[in-house]
A and B are shown apart, each in its own frame.
Chain A
Amino acid sequence: MRKDGRPFRRVLIANRGEIALRVIRACRELGVETVAVYSDADANARHVRAADVAVRIGPPPAAQSYLLVERIMAAARETGAEAIHPGYGFLSERPALAEACNAAGVVFIGPEPATLIGLGDKLNARRAAAAAGVPVVPGTLEPVATDRPDAVEAAVSEADRIGWPVLVKAAAGGGGRGMRLVERAADLPAALAAAAHEALAAFGDGSVYLEHRVDGARHVEVQLLGDAQGTVVALGERDCSIQRRHQKLVEETPAPGFDAARRRALHAFAVAVARAVGLRNAATAEFLVGADGSAWFLEVNARLQVEHGVTELVTGLDLVHEQLWIAAGEPLSGRVLAAAARAAQPGRHAIEVRLSAEDPGRDFAPTPGTIGRWRMPGGPGVRVDDWVEDGTRIGSDYDALLGKLMVVADDRAAALARLRRALHELEVTGIQTTLPFDLWLVDEPHFQAGELSTDFVPRLWDPAPLRAAAAELAAQSAADALAGGEYAPFGGVAPDDAVRQGGGATGWASLGRREAIERWPR
């Protein structure tokens, strides 16, 4: 530790959005100065305003800004940053940034470059896990050849051995890209070729492998922290089964229905994998958990996860604080070790929903636009990590995540009640968000019963009737607002009407409306 009791004097955050703001908050609490980087699209974003220093790094496209290692390094050099926090996404798992940091004498807040290189090929992690005695999802441990005619026969016999249906996955993959589900041998050659092509285009590496598709499985991951001295601990698991197209929508901890023994076993698997691949700092080991409770290792993410906040709410830790101390060379803190000792019996329950600019009525298609009104819930046990505000323009250069709503309570039932309460406080106008899905989910009987699986959304989410019922209410509410103005039930017209009217209307009518708006109870 430095003499002044801080992990670093100044840290650069090589990211944007809610995670940049999240890391800045942690730094400020530890007395660490922060450097924000931004593209032109984010010039006035909250993470920029929150930082001590801000550096423009390029135009909106990520490939010309947030993904440029040399721009990030130049910004660190100019501002005298001692360390770089990569957040998640962007450069967080690219060895190039970690290597550039090492070369420049800047601390990379994450694993060693060699670890990132190793984990970049998912087959490495699968082999390491298998060698450490951790069950892996049945499948191949080496890439499947896709470029020779005789290879197809070999692949089919491999699939027969693994068991149908199989997933064709990209070794360098992530986020569902380069992934294909294959039910029958006849479809395998085309799927192999398509996945390899997609993987080559997306990741520059066309290696693919086969994995058995476990039906009705849950996606459960374990939060890990490891220090430079080689100590690794598990800080509880998160159930992330509520997904669509391999993108998480809702996460919770602890995993519903797990007892302490099953939790301990899963945590031990995760720690074994982490040791086998030499993990340091924050990481997550992902598993599939079958209906019978058996767990198979999937992959390791060597970074802070989007959903890290629920673990913080249950453990009482600040994982970003811990990341900073670990990166500064400190051994795992007493706080972390105590939380790890309690991890099998967490005693609280936390749930997160991701609020995204996506239309759940149209297969979660992106909905770029301008936010009108952004009102997040508050009150006991509620945490919101967001980055948008009234008037924020949501473009299509970055992901659709607007914010994360998290709740914590003594048990799952109380957490669900709190989540329902918080969701009903939430108000977003201007763009379609994923909120309708969350409002449905919180009252959905299977979800309430903790019956989770990765096919939950495609199996149970049927938006058409919900949207149709809402449309009738919308018609009625709009009519109420026209007839009653500001005296309509529930105020009819929202106060930021004044903003939304903008130029358009002139004369006394708009003045009258404005006057009415000023009488709005605040």
Chain B
Amino acid sequence: MTAGAKLRTVVDGPQPLVIDVTPRMTAERGRGTVVTRLPARIPGTGEPSRFEAVVAGWRFEVAVEPAARAELRERAARIGGARATSVRRVIHAQIPGRVVSVAVAVGDAVERGQRLLSIEAMKMENAVLAPRAGTIERVGVAAGEDVELGDELAVMA
């Protein structure tokens, strides 16, 4: 993750609050702020990280992920719903980090949402999921390799 990159937060509530914020490394203490990481709903799916934040006694659950990734996710969801599945699809790294594991090999048939590989960044494991059903045509990385934002990870047919 690039330093200073915007993060998209979704605060739960009757009307969920969506705000993009820049993380701070210096801050005045909010009144009695306590932040706790919540367990993933479905582990390893690359869903946004979830936190409980108690501020001035008010308790919230907040989902956080890089704003760029959130936008890609939204776009993917829009396109994935509309397009035919025959087009080649290049999967790029949406966060810089180290590839922890690769779960697929060339020729594998995958389902939409299946985990292809995992990238560790900011001490967090982020799953890269198949944007649609298809076949793995190429795998561009191996476990242990470092990747930069936008690097080609895999190609699906």
Contacts and interface: CB of A to CB of B under 8 A. Distances in A.
17 contacts: A372-B36, A424-B32, A428-B54, A429-B36, A470-B56, A472-B19, A477-B55, A478-B53, A480-B25, A480-B27, A483-B7, A492-B35, A497-B36, A501-B37, A507-B100, A509-B120, A513-B123
Contacts of B34: 373, 427, 429, 494
A426 interface: yes
B24 A476 contact: yes
B58 A361 contact: yes
Nearest to A481: B35
A180 B59 CA distance: 33
Contacts of B54: 427-429, 474
Nearest to A433: B57
A500 to B, nearest CB: 6
A482 interface: yes
Contacts of A201: none
Nearest to A361: B58
A130 interface: no
B25 A435 contact: no
Interface stretch (B9-17, B78-86, B102-110): B9-17
Given A481-B51, A482-B7, A505-B43, A489 B36 contact: no
Given A490-B33, A513-B37, A478 B62 contact: yes
Interface size class of A (residues with CB under 8 A): 35 or more
B81 to A, nearest CB: 28
B36 A500 contact: yes
Nearest to B35: A481
Contact of B49 (A482, A488, A496, A503): A482
Nearest to B30: A473
B155 to A, nearest CB: 26
Given A482-B64, A483-B1, A483-B7, A500 B37 contact: yes
Contact of B58 (A373, A474, A497): A474
Given A478-B51, A497-B37, A427 B62 contact: no
A406 to B, nearest CB: 18
Given A475-B21, A480-B27, A482-B122, A496 B51 contact: no
B23 interface: yes
Contact of B31 (A437, A439, A500, A503): A439
B58 A509 contact: no
Contacts of B23: 479-480, 482-484, 488
A477 B43 contact: no
Contacts of B49: 482
B49 to A, nearest CB: 5
A496 to B, nearest CB: 7
